[in-house]
Amino acid sequence: MKIIIQSVSLDGLKQMAAGLFGNLVKAVVDIDREIIAVDAELHSDLEALLLEDGSKQQSLWGINFYPEVPGNDFVEFDSMINMRPSQGNLSRGVDDEKIRKKILSVILKRVKR
């Protein structure tokens, strides 16, 4: 597990994917601090890492990277940590379009493709 503060390359994500799941990398994005935690078996482990690092839970959203998939489809909004009725998010996805856009903005800054 690590926190991406600067950037990670697509090749770096491919190496992470090969090490755990083969085709995907689990990640948690902090939309306020604009950082991403990557490379764990569970989104909840990445969430805990960011919380220990000073993130706020309401700013953390779980995603999956599929580094072999071209274009924006390489990001999947799907994680159990996203289920937050108190924030109006009733699914494993990210229901709020503004939050999805913030997540994608952070990804554009941190993932070099």
Residue 29: partners with Cβ closer than 8 Å, 6 or more residues away: 35, 36, 60, 61, 63, 103, 106, 107
pLDDT one-digit tens code per residue, 12-36: 999 999 999 999 999 999 999 999 9
pLDDT of residue 26: 98
pLDDT digits (tens, 9 = 90+) for 70-96: 887 999 999 999 999 999 999 999 999
- Give the pLDDT confidence score for residue 86 in this predicted structure: 92
| Per-residue confidence (pLDDT) for residue 72, from 0 to 100 | 78
Q: What is the model's pTM?
A: 0.96
